[in-house]
Structure 1
Amino acid sequence: MGKNQIIVYTSGTFDMFHSNHLKMINYAKGLGDVLIVGVSTDELVSSYKAPPIVPFEERLAIVEGLKNPDIVIPQRSLDHKEIVKKLHIDIFVVGDDWTGKYDYLEEYGVKVFYFPYGAGTSSTALKKKIYDSYAEIKKRIDNHANPDIVPSNGQTK
């Protein structure tokens, strides 16, 4: 990484990778010269919400397969002070579901951008949709007559 290059860092869980993840990574790439993407480890995610559906190694491989990240690294902490210092980050991009949480990085000379997900896709919404669909299918399956069961009065249905 040469002098005067703008280094951008973005991070996320990137569980059940979807178009808003891609949009945020592409947006981050457009802000600078070098894009470093941190992928949150399973242990980190599990410390503040339900564990990811897709295991860390697979989420890392998906992000590594994209064209825009120059470097992909594990993200092991929600405190980004050390990574900002070690990697000389100029710009940090994160989803707007974290609005305000990383304003402290501005004290270190980092510009912070909260990428607007808007009403689009989110991993949480995808998980809920899958769960609700499965629950509906299971309810239909569980509430049908079983021809192999003979009622206790000896009569068939």
Structure 2
Amino acid sequence: MARVFVYGTLKKGQPNYFRMMDPANGRAEFLARARTVEPYPLVIATEHSIPFLLDAPGTGRRVCGEIYRVDQKMLEFLDRFERCPHWYQRAEVRLEVEDGDGEGENALRPGSIEEAFVYRKTTHEPEWLQKPTYESYDAYGDHGLKYVRPEDRSPE
């Protein structure tokens, strides 16, 4: 089992959350809400209004998201879904736990520092660093950028 930090469309209440809960993709168990220890630029880019966590630690904001415990099947699904390693890179990130859901060995204590995998963009258009950054992504937020799901995208 691995830990994964999701900050965009895979969070609860977002357009791709159903993929995290689909047993055909593997198993994912919500552990806690958290934020990155270091700031990162979280931007919305491309004509599909995709949230990207850019690999530029120390700039941007401390990004809020959710930590999940996933099995190997789900991790492999997420790699395919995130087009890893061609589109996103999977890397470890340090997180400060805000609140958890659960007890026993999988419970995470508020305030504790944990590590999890995150999908981040290591190569991007230079102007992306000039885009507004967000602390928390919401596909339905007041940014006015409509997210286009993968199956609704034209072939690239």
Q: Same fold (TM over 0.5)?
A: no
Which structure carries more helix by proportion?
1
- TM-score range relative to shorter protein: under 0.3
Which structure carries more strand by proportion?
2
Q: Provide the TM-score with structure 2 as the length reference.
A: 0.28
Q: Provide the TM-score with structure 1 as the length reference.
A: 0.28
Which structure has the larger Rg over C-alpha atoms? 1
